[in-house]
Amino acid sequence: MTTSQQSSDLDGRIVDLVRGFWEEHRIPLLLSRLGNQDNGQIAELAKKKAGSLRAYLRRELVGKVRVIQHSAKFPVIGAIPEDAELPENTDIDMLLEKTHSRLGAEAKPRYHPAFWAAFRKPLDESNGRYVSVQPPLRFQDMLPEHKPDGFVEITREYVLGPDAEVAEVQQRIQDWLAANKLDPAPFLLKNEANIARLPSDDLLGRLLLALEPDELKRISMPLDVVSKLRRQPL
């Protein structure tokens, strides 16, 4: 396939996804979700051609797709059809907030803190990230040739960083589980009765994000302290 044909196919696929999402929901399609379509190929191809999906849309799809960004939450970027009919004086921030509300309503599972951290802790460019699929749940960052047995890779497009919205992380985890054909049950917190009362952003989760895998191995603490940290919101 020629480079021009690849670009044409990519452009058509992006336009179809953005238009289809708009027509069905009347809200923007977040770029984080758009890039993850087709097993991450959209983000990968756009990055090769323009450095990022946002840059690709603004350079190659002018007149077809409109890129909009939240004025306060800069990582929140969405896309709508260029010819989408918006009411006069539409609040773009509110439009993007509707997307987050929708994702939050659809994504309710609560995951093990170490598993959750694997999708939020920044990943060094030289390493891959691998998560255990058997207890104890943990992740390790290392060179691909050192991948441990019993671990599955979390490729870079699924890692959002510590400032990502909870709903986006939830969606990215669900996409990763689906792409790897994994049952989410082993990665969920066990006591559902307590889960509903636990904060989504807690001290224990922030601690896990701050520490390197080698540091995590050296830490032990009483379960009552673990429980307190898990229940304490930031």
Digit-by-digit pLDDT tens for the chain (234 residues) are 445 555 678 999 999 999 999 998 888 998 888 887 887 788 888 988 998 899 999 999 999 999 999 888 877 889 999 999 888 888 888 888 877 666 655 546 788 999 999 999 988 888 999 999 888 889 999 998 888 888 999 999 899 877 777 778 888 898 899 889 898 888 987 644 344 444 555 667 767 767 776 676 677 777 666 666 666 665
Q: pTM for the whole thing? A: 0.49
Q: Which residue has the tokens 């920044």?
A: 122
pLDDT of residue 68: 93
H/E run at residue 151: strand 151-153
- Output the CA angle 130-136-137, nearest 5 degrees: 40
pLDDT of residue 183: 87
Which positions ≥6 away from 14 have C-beta within 8 Å? Answer: 34, 42, 57, 61, 65, 79
pLDDT of residue 163: 75
As a whole number of angstroms, the distance between CA 170 and CA 172 comes to 6
Instruction: Please report, as a single letter, which amino acid is at residue 166.
Output: V
> Cβ distance 32 to 25 under 8 Å?
no
Main-chain phi, psi angles of 35, to 5 degrees? -65, -25
pLDDT of residue 161: 79
